Chains A and B, each alone.
Chain A
Amino acid sequence: MRILPKHTQRAAIAALGGATLLTLSLLVFIIVFVLEKGLPVLSLRFLFTNPQDMGRAGGIFPTLVGSVVLPLLAVAIATPLGVGTAVYLTEYTRESRLTRVIRFGTDCLAGIPSIIFGLFGFIFFVTTLRMGWSIISGGLTLAFMILPTIIRTTEEAVRAVPRAYREVSYSLGATRWQTVRRVILPNALPGIVTGVMLGVGRSIGETAAVIFTAGSSLRLPSSVFDSTRTMAVHFYILAREGISTENAYGTAAALVIAVLSVNLIAYWLMNRVMARRS
């Protein structure tokens, strides 16, 4: 017996719509759950005062600083490296066995659990290079962790720039670098920013790799060679060691709001850039 297209069509709508609905409600549920528990604790005072007694009392100011500084450093290191690599692979080399190997390598790198990056960072930056548990060790480690994502998204974005733009640019006498700078990068910007924001998001939420490399000091860092604790690590330690469930949720709420705002700001920036360009 043949099922009528009309029915399969309806079933498809129901299945796909249902999947979307389930995803959305899970997302909303998580956010509402965290905010409901955490918002009562969250206040400007909580954000901007130092913790006392391991975080049992007081605020989370040093971890807020850690959560701003570490991802910023990671992105500042990874973006030029990643964008440079991606542009080199797509615009300066012909597709060959080597580029395929490199691409396969970055894809593998993207799938490696963060704790392995943490271990690598610990052995290489913290111990071998004697940087100690520090913001710089953590930033470098996170940079390596998010590098594959930035390379991949940038590559996709660069590839999506219409061939016609390149041809016109070259036909007007532009060099390869001029074409990259004036045509390809501006047109690939939305994709690049997406990759960078994904990197920021992953860095803000990371715990394992950070504990291994940046440590978990609750003191306010005064240089990149000081250890620091991020909000995510703070939450982990508070919850894991049963120090304060209340403050753990307060921290979690701050973390969720931070991630949401990063995404919103990125979205807003994107729209402004796009509106200006077309």
Chain B
Amino acid sequence: MTNKIDIRDLDLFYGKFHALKDVSMAVRQNGITALIGPSGCGKSTLLRCLNRMNDLIPGCRVSGSVALDGRNIYAPDAEVASLRKRVGMVFQRPNPFPLSVRDNVVYGLKVAGSHDRRQLAETAERSLRGAWLWDQVKDKLDAPALGLPLDQQQRLCVARLLAVQPEVILMDEPCSALDPIATMKIEELMLELKRDYTIAIVTHNMQQAARVSDFSGYMLLGEMVEFGETNQVFTRPADKRTEDYITGRYG
């Protein structure tokens, strides 16, 4: 197995606030890498570094390197739009556009310049199947996406992402707005998706990290306290602070 993403000595500042401190870790190809830690420790921030979503935040500065397939995405000649096509994101709250189901799925293709109706329809179907949503929505592709139940909206967001054929899928607490059954479905979906994609997920739910991930990183106050195989992090943590968190003594 190889590393899809290599993070080296990453520091990030929001203005004067030092949000990520010298973080190093790797995201394994075709694996699920989980980031856990208490709220506000920098999980989302780290995840958003991987497709440079933090570029949109005024006053945010990054130093260090994030290599995707060996090439630093923060290099001066790196292209952000094409990076984001390779490294896509599923957000915490399901956030379909106020458009039809179909128009949501093909959004990324359209901005990439594809307008062939047949091809768009084929990709839409393939992506919706990939997100296990096809059977539920095949008869209402022109219905408003915001009319779907929340878990279907979230899987629509996954489908919308699959349509642009990313290599890496970043998920920021994708289940936090969903009920347990819907959460299970998304988790199963992740396990299915990792055969074709590389996944990095932020979760505040440790059981979830333990269930789905291959590697886990425990963060605290902007530092990567511990990073390793999930099994090892959860059963034999090397750091006392990790152990406290895992056993619920954090606080």
Residue positions of A touching B, CB distance < 8 A: 94-95, 162, 164-175, 178, 182-183, 187, 277-278
Task: Judge if B121 is at the interface, Cβ distance under 8 Å.
Answer: no
Q: Which of A164, A173, A187, A278 contacts B95 (CB 8 A)?
A: A164
Task: Judge if B207 is at the interface, Cβ distance under 8 Å.
Answer: no
The answer to whether B56 and A278 have CB atoms under 8 Å apart is no
The answer to whether B111 and A168 have CB atoms under 8 Å apart is no
Which A residue's beta carbon lies closest to that of B147?
A278
CA distance A170 to B157 in the complex (A): 14
Interface string of B20-58 (1 = CB under 8 A from A): 000000000000000000000000000000010100101
Sample of 20 further A-B pairs with CB below 8 A, known A162-B95, A173-B108, A187-B98 = A95-B58, A167-B56, A168-B160, A169-B111, A170-B56, A170-B84, A171-B51, A171-B53, A171-B89, A171-B91, A172-B84, A173-B84, A173-B85, A173-B111, A173-B112, A174-B81, A182-B110, A183-B97, A278-B98, A278-B146
Looking at the assembled complex, report how far the CB atom of B148 sits from the nearest CB atom of chain A, in whole angstroms.
12
Looking at the assembled complex, report how far the CB atom of B162 sits from the nearest CB atom of chain A, in whole angstroms.
11
Looking at the assembled complex, report how far the CB atom of B155 sits from the nearest CB atom of chain A, in whole angstroms.
15
CA distance A169 to B58 in the complex (A): 18
Task: Judge if B137 is at the interface, Cβ distance under 8 Å.
Answer: no
The answer to whether B88 and A277 have CB atoms under 8 Å apart is no
CA distance A171 to B85 in the complex (A): 7
List 28 interface pairs A-B (beta carbons < 8 Å), by A numbering: A165-B95, A167-B89, A167-B91, A167-B95, A168-B89, A168-B91, A168-B95, A168-B97, A168-B157, A169-B111, A171-B53, A171-B84, A172-B84, A172-B107, A172-B108, A172-B111, A173-B84, A173-B108, A173-B111, A173-B112, A173-B164, A174-B107, A175-B81, A175-B111, A178-B111, A182-B110, A183-B97, A277-B144
Q: Which of B88, B93, B144, B146 contacts A172 (CB 8 A)?
A: B88
Inside 8 A of B88's CB, which chain A residues have their CB?
171-172
Inside 8 A of B85's CB, which chain A residues have their CB?
172-173
Which A residue's beta carbon lies closest to that of B144?
A278
A-B contact count (CB 8 A): 66
Q: Which of B58, B81, B157 contacts A173 (CB 8 A)?
A: B81
CA distance A182 to B99 in the complex (A): 11
CA distance A168 to B154 in the complex (A): 13
Q: Which of A94, A95, A164, A182 contacts B93 (CB 8 A)?
A: A164
The answer to whether B164 and A172 have CB atoms under 8 Å apart is yes
Which A residue's beta carbon lies closest to that of B52?
A170
Looking at the assembled complex, report how far the CB atom of B113 sits from the nearest CB atom of chain A, in whole angstroms.
10
Number of interface residues of B (CB under 8 A): 27
Given A173-B84, A173-B85, A173-B164, decide whether A277 and B98 contact each other with a Cβ distance below 8 A.
yes
Inside 8 A of B108's CB, which chain A residues have their CB?
172-174
Task: Judge if B161 is at the interface, Cβ distance under 8 Å.
Answer: yes
4 closest A-B pairs by beta carbon, nearest first, are A173-B85, A172-B108, A164-B95, A174-B111
Task: Judge if B82 is at the interface, Cβ distance under 8 Å.
Answer: yes
Looking at the assembled complex, report how far the CB atom of B186 sits from the nearest CB atom of chain A, in whole angstroms.
17
Residues from 61 to 92 in B contacting A, C-beta threshold 8 Å: 81-82, 84-85, 88-89, 91
Interface string of B107-120 (1 = CB under 8 A from A): 11011100000000
Which A residue's beta carbon lies closest to that of B157?
A168
Which B residue's beta carbon lies closest to that of A181?
B111
The answer to whether A173 and B56 have CB atoms under 8 Å apart is no
Which B residue's beta carbon lies closest to that of A162?
B95
CA distance A126 to B144 in the complex (A): 52
Inside 8 A of A183's CB, which chain B residues have their CB?
97
Given A182-B111, A183-B97, decide whether A164 and B81 contact each other with a Cβ distance below 8 A.
no
Which B residue's beta carbon lies closest to that of A168?
B95
CA distance A168 to B199 in the complex (A): 18
The answer to whether A169 and B107 have CB atoms under 8 Å apart is yes
Inside 8 A of B93's CB, which chain A residues have their CB?
164
CA distance A278 to B145 in the complex (A): 8
CA distance A171 to B53 in the complex (A): 7
CA distance A241 to B232 in the complex (A): 94
Residues from 117 to 164 in B contacting A, C-beta threshold 8 Å: 144, 146, 157, 160-161, 164
